[in-house]
Amino acid sequence: MTLAVLASRALCGLNALAVRVETHLGPGLPSFNIVGLADTEVRESRERVRAALINSGFEFPPGRITVNLSPADLPKESGRFDLPMAVGLLLASGQLAEAAASDGPAPWADLVLAGELSLTGALVPVAAPLAIALGVAGDLPGGTLILPAGSAEHAAWVPGLRVLSARTLADVAAHLAGARGLPDAVPRPWPAGEPVPCLSDVRGQPAARRALEIAAAGAHSLLMVGPPGAGKSMLAQRLPGLLPPLSRMQALETAAVAGLAGLADAPAAAPPFRAPHHCASAAALVGGGSRPRPGEISLAHNGVLFLDELPEFSRASLEALREPLEAGRVVISRSLARAVFPARFQLVAAMNPCPCGWRGHPARSCACTPDQAARYASRVSGPLLDRIDLHIALPPTDLAALDAAPGETSDAVRARVAACRLRQMARQGVPNARLEGPALERHCPLEGAARDLLLQAMRRLGGSARAMHRALRVARTIADLEEAERLSARHVAQAVQYRRPGD
Ligand SMILES: [Zn+2]
C-alpha cells in the first residue's frame, strides 16, 4: 500500500473537528510535502517526523511523500498531527505489516490519533486534550483515542470513548501491529476544587441576600448599585455557592474551555467564578487573537461572570458582551475560519452610584455634580442594562448588623434554588431568565389582580415592553420559589421593585 488514511482532530473554538490525515508515498525524488492549510507548526512536523522515525528504529521511506490534511479549508495548528503522519508513513511504506494488508479507507475507522513527536520518538503532551476527547465522544461514540501520556489522563475524564495512553511512537506502532497493546488511560480523580465562600459570612443586607437568591433561582443577571464597602463583591463571590452543582458534562465542557485558554483544565463541580478587572480588553473579555482563544465570558461558561465597577469597563468591552449574553456563545471570525466558544454565563455587575461613590450616603457627602453622576451612569449602555433582569440598590453597611447572628448558609439557600430550578426545567426546559416571547407569555399566567398591577406599574414608570418582560421573568422566579403556579399581585409587586432606574 502506498496510501494510508488516519483520523485526527483540528480545534476550531471548542469544537474538535475531524481531520483525515492522508499520507501518500510515491516514486520520484525524495521530498516531503504537507498540504491542506497547515500552519508553521504543522509544516515543521516534517523534521520531527523524520527524526522520530529514524530514532525509533524505523526507516524513513525514500521517495516522494505527500501528506494531505483534509478538509483543506480548516486551519490546522499545533504539532498534534505528527503522530498520525508518522503512523501513516509506517503504513504507506509497509513497515506496519498487519495494518498494511487492508486497503482503501482508514484501516481503523473508529481510531483517532493526536500527539506531537520529539526528535527521539517520544510523544509530547498535546494542548486541550479535553476538547479533543469531547469532540471524539460526540461524533464517534465508542471510538478510541490515542494520546500522549500526560494528555490521555485528562481526556479519560470524558465518558463514551476509550482513551489509550502512549509514551513513544514505537509503542503506538507496536499497538497497531497487534504486538503489544497500549494501556487504557486511567483518569485522575476529580480534584476537590476550591471551597466556595458561604453566604452566612454576609451580615445584614437582607434585601441583597434575597435578590441573590432570586438571581440564583432563575439564572437572572444582576446589577448591584451601592457605595464602596457595601459588600457587592462579597455577595457576588457567594453566588456560585448558591447555584446547583454542574452536571458531569457541564463540568467537562467548562474545564475544556479552561484548557483551550492554557489554564488548568481539571473539572470541578462548583460553577466557575470569573472576575476580570475593568482594564481587561474586549479581546480578553470575550475572546480573540489571531489564533482565537476563549475570553473571560467563556471561562465563566456554566458559572458566574462578575464585573465590578461596571462603568469603568471600556465601551467596546461592554458592547461586546451583548450578543453572547443572548446567544450563550461567542463567535470569533477570522479570515480563515470561525471559532465558536460557549459562553452561557450569569452576569453579576456592580457599580458605585456616582464617581466618588457616596451619592445618597447618609453620613458621607458626595463631591460629584449631578452632571458627573449622570455621565458616569450613562457609560453603561441601555441595551446592556436591558439584558439585566435584576437591579438592586445596596444601602451602606449597617454597623449594627455586623454584630447580628449569621444568616442562612449557602447550603440552605442552594437547596431551595435547586428545587426551584427543577420546577423550571420540568415546565419549560430552560431557566426563567431565558424565557422569551410566546414561551414567556405561556409560562407566566397572571392572576387578574396581578395583570392590573403589572400594567399599572409599567404605565406609571413609563416602562417599555422589555421592562415588562424582565418583571414577568423575575415574578415567575419569585412564584417558583413559593411553588406557586400562577403569578399573584404580590409576586409582581416584588418583581417590579427590581426594576432598572428609569424603567
Ligand atoms: Zn459622588
User: What sign results for the dihedral spanned by CA atoms 320, 324, 330, 334?
Assistant: negative
User: What sign results for the dihedral spanned by CA atoms 227, 233, 234, 239?
Assistant: positive
Q: Tell me the CA–centroid distance for residue 321 and ligand 1, in Å.
A: 27
Q: Tell me the CA–centroid distance for residue 108 and ligand 1, in Å.
A: 69
Q: Tell me the CA–centroid distance for residue 353 and ligand 1, in Å.
A: 7
Q: Tell me the CA–centroid distance for residue 312 and ligand 1, in Å.
A: 15
Res 291: pLDDT: 82
Other residues' Cβ atoms within 10 Å of the Cβ of residue 316:
12
Q: Tell me the CA–centroid distance for residue 458 and ligand 1, in Å.
A: 30
Which three-class secondary structure state does DSSP give residue 169? helix
Cα 472 to the center of its chain, rounded Å:
28
Q: Tell me the CA–centroid distance for residue 228 and ligand 1, in Å.
A: 11
Q: Tell me the CA–centroid distance for residue 252 and ligand 1, in Å.
A: 45
Q: Tell me the CA–centroid distance for residue 374 and ligand 1, in Å.
A: 10
Q: Tell me the CA–centroid distance for residue 385 and ligand 1, in Å.
A: 21
The pLDDT profile of the chain, 503 residues, written as one tens digit per residue, is 689 999 999 988 999 999 999 999 999 899 998 888 777 777 788 999 999 999 999 999 999 999 999 888 777 777 899 999 999 999 999 998 654 444 444 457 789 999 999 999 999 999 999 999 999 999 999 999 999 999 999 999 999 999 999 999 999 999 998 888 899 999 888 877 778 899 999 888 889 999 999 999 999 999 999 998 889 999 999 999 999 999 999 999 999 999 999 888 889 889 999 999 999 999 999 998 888 899 999 999 999 999 999 999 999 999 999 999 999 999 998 777 788 999 999 999 999 999 998 888 888 888 899 899 889 988 888 888 888 999 999 988 777 777 777 889 999 999 999 999 999 999 999 999 999 989 999 999 999 899 999 988 888 877 788 888 999 999 999 999 999 999 999 999 999 999 877 55
Q: Tell me the CA–centroid distance for residue 376 and ligand 1, in Å.
A: 10
Res 337: pLDDT: 75
Q: Tell me the CA–centroid distance for residue 373 and ligand 1, in Å.
A: 7
Res 100: pLDDT: 40
Q: Tell me the CA–centroid distance for residue 282 and ligand 1, in Å.
A: 27
Q: Tell me the CA–centroid distance for residue 366 and ligand 1, in Å.
A: 4
Q: Tell me the CA–centroid distance for residue 362 and ligand 1, in Å.
A: 13
Res 503: pLDDT: 57
Q: Tell me the CA–centroid distance for residue 370 and ligand 1, in Å.
A: 9
Q: Tell me the CA–centroid distance for residue 360 and ligand 1, in Å.
A: 8
Q: Which amino acid is located at 316 in the chain?
A: A
Q: Tell me the CA–centroid distance for residue 375 and ligand 1, in Å.
A: 12
Res 37: pLDDT: 73
User: What is the β-pairing status of strands 287-288 and 293-294?
Assistant: antiparallel
Separation CA 342–CA 210 (nearest Å): 29
Q: Tell me the CA–centroid distance for residue 367 and ligand 1, in Å.
A: 5
Separation CA 51–CA 36 (nearest Å): 22
Q: Tell me the CA–centroid distance for residue 277 and ligand 1, in Å.
A: 22
Q: Tell me the CA–centroid distance for residue 462 and ligand 1, in Å.
A: 27
Of the CA atoms within 13 Å of residue 164, those in its CB half-sphere come to: 21
Q: Which of 134, 175, 128 is nearest to 151 (CA)?
A: 128
Q: Tell me the CA–centroid distance for residue 369 and ligand 1, in Å.
A: 7
Q: What is the pTM of this model?
A: 0.91
| 441 to 276, 431, 444, 457, 502: CA distances (angstroms) | 36, 15, 5, 18, 24
Res 74: pLDDT: 77
Q: Tell me the CA–centroid distance for residue 117 and ligand 1, in Å.
A: 60
Separation CA 70–CA 76 (nearest Å): 9
The set of cell numbers assigned to 151 is 494528555
Res 106: pLDDT: 45
Q: Tell me the CA–centroid distance for residue 358 and ligand 1, in Å.
A: 5
Q: Give the DSSP H or E segment for 35.
A: strand 31-35
Q: Tell me the CA–centroid distance for residue 202 and ligand 1, in Å.
A: 25
Find the length of the chain.
503
Q: Tell me the CA–centroid distance for residue 214 and ligand 1, in Å.
A: 30
Q: Tell me the CA–centroid distance for residue 267 and ligand 1, in Å.
A: 43
Q: Tell me the CA–centroid distance for residue 355 and ligand 1, in Å.
A: 5
Q: Tell me the CA–centroid distance for residue 372 and ligand 1, in Å.
A: 8
Helix, strand, coil proportions of the chain in percent (round to 5)?
Answer: 40, 20, 40
CA-based end-to-end distance of the chain:
73
Q: Which of 150, 223, 138 is nearest to 474 (CA)?
A: 223
Q: Which of 92, 103, 97, 79 is nearest to 22 (CA)?
A: 92
Q: Tell me the CA–centroid distance for residue 352 and ligand 1, in Å.
A: 9
Q: Which amino acid is located at 272 in the chain?
A: P
